[in-house]
Each structure stands twice: as structure tokens, then as C-alpha cells.
Structure 1
Amino acid sequence: MKKDNKPLGPSQRMLRVGELVRHALADIFARGEIEDEALAGSVVTVPEVRMTPDLKLANAYVMPLGGAHADEIVTVLNRHAKYIRGRIAPRINMKYAPEIRFFVDDTFDEASRIDALLRSDRVKRDLDHDGDDSDED
């Protein structure tokens, strides 16, 4: 907790609503409810939706299968954001549907980068060196 007793991370309510929006988005994408040439044949996953504390804005992180044309797909989804918001409203059963903004999910790239670092020769050398020190005791 911070000094002013506010939690550091998202509240349970923010997490719960984010998960509701994520499921609704995944359902919309799976059913192909957005008619746009750029989305034809694309499978879009929604790994995470982060809500603002007032629940009025949902930041949806999406990634097309294989990562191809991710920026283009995000542009298309942001262009259809109002339509998507209208399709989500009845599915999440809230007084107001949040405004949705789409972003490319880069967590997979970041995880790959960290994995590559951990498998690098430099890290292996350090780990082997640490193992040699423990044998001497």
C-alpha cells in the first residue's frame, strides 16, 4: 500500500470488469461481428483488458494470431470502437459501457526477449561460475 492507503494495483472491481470486457471482445472477434476487409481471415486474441478506476475506459490489448499486421488490425479496431462498444454493452450488464481503446499486446515479444537473455552465453557462464563457487565450500 502507498502512504495514503490506496492500493498499488487495480482493484478487484477493475479486474472483474476488465475480465468481463475481455470475454465480450473475444466473443465478438470469434463470431466475426466486425465486418472489415482488414479483419477478414484474422484471428485476434485479447490477452488483457485494463480498466481505469472509474470504469469508463477500457484499454484492450490485442494480438492477431502469428502477430502479422498487428498495427493495422489495431487501427481497424480503433476505427470500429464505437460499434464494438455498442455490441459489448448488453453483454457486460453495466449501467454504462466503457469506451474502448485498442493497443498491440507486446507481452509476448517482451517474454521472448527475456527468454533469449536468460539463454544467452553470458548468463550461462555466470550460472556455471556460481555453481563452481558452491562446490568449493
Structure 2
Amino acid sequence: MRKNSIKNTRINAEVQKELSNIIRGEIKDPRIHPMTSVMAVEVAPDLKTCKAFISVLGSEESKQSTIKGLKSAEGYIRRQLAKNLNLRNTPEIRFILDESIEYGVNMSRLIDDVIEHDHSKGTESEDGEKQDTAETEDEE
């Protein structure tokens, strides 16, 4: 089975769905932050291992404690996956902290700040803007 085959894609989606249901509804560990989501799952083609990319909305401390809580509950999560999914092998799960959403929000905020700075700079020097447009009209 190739890594990007349709079967592997379906297994990834199914494991992601079940994993998020288990984390959201069945685990009662206080270390796991309530705003935890499973961003992506990559199951190996031989179904032996699985990488689960986890995103946590909160402080750095809550992120680390959530990953520790998930690692300690890995046996329970794997057992529930085996019960809910009919797979030949139940993969061994590795939880990886995914900070791509936080990175994207931060970049968006920086872009907004630059746009706002440019806009405020443009309103301060309206004479300069008029002069620029006059110069471009002369060139045409």
C-alpha cells in the first residue's frame, strides 16, 4: 500500500475522527486542555505507527501538560481505537504538538499591523500621496 493511496487517506481520516472523539469525550485527565484538537493524522502504510498532530489553544504550559497527559493516556486511547475501528493492526500513536494555527494567527496579526501602520502613515501625509499621483499622471 502506497503512502498516499485512497485506502491510506481514508484510514487517516477515520483515525483522526475517532481520536478527536476519544480525546474530547472519553479522557478525563485534568492535564488535557479543553481546547485541544487533532489537526492531522498520518498512519504508516503498514498500520504499525501513527503520528497525531495536536493543536492546543492556550499557554505554553497548557500545551506541554496536554502532550504529557495524552502520552500517559496512550494505552487507553489505543485500546479505544482498536475497539471503535476494525483495523488489522492498531497503530502505536505518537503525539506531536502542532503550532501551525498559532503561527498563522501571529502572521495574520503582523500583516494587519503593517497594513494599519501604512494606512495611518498614508493619512498623515496626504500631500505626499497627491504628489505621487500627479507624478504618475505626468509620466503617462
What amino acid is the match of 2:41? V
Going from structure 1 to structure 2, the CA distance change for 1:36 and 1:117 (only over 3 Å counts) comes to closer
TM-score (norm 2): 0.68
Match of 2:70 among 64, 74, 77: 77
- Alignment partners' CA distance in 2, 1:49 and 1:18: 6
What amino acid is the match of 2:86? N
TM-score (norm 1): 0.69
Show the counterpart of 1:13.
Answer: 7
What SS is found at the alignment partner of 1:67?
Answer: coil
Aligned length: 121
Show the counterpart of 1:62.
Answer: 54
What amino acid is the match of 1:10? N
Structure 2 unaligned runs (5+)? 119-132
Structure 1 unaligned runs (5+)? 1-6, 126-131
The root-mean-square deviation of aligned C-alpha atoms, in Å, is: 3.2
The percentage of counterpart residues that share the same residue type is 25
State the shift of 1:118 in Å. 4.2
- Alignment partners' CA distance in 1, 2:100 and 2:58: 12
Alignment of 1:1-137 (within 5 A): 10-31=4-25, 33-39=26-32, 42-64=34-56, 66-68=57-59, 69-116=62-109, 118-119=111-112, 121=114
The structure with more radius of gyration: 2
- Alignment partners' CA distance in 1, 2:113 and 2:4: 35
What amino acid is the match of 2:73? H
Going from structure 1 to structure 2, the CA distance change for 1:62 and 1:111 (only over 3 Å counts) comes to same
State the shift of 1:82 in Å. 1.4
State the shift of 1:116 in Å. 4.2
Aligned partners of 1:29 and 1:43 also within 8 Å: no
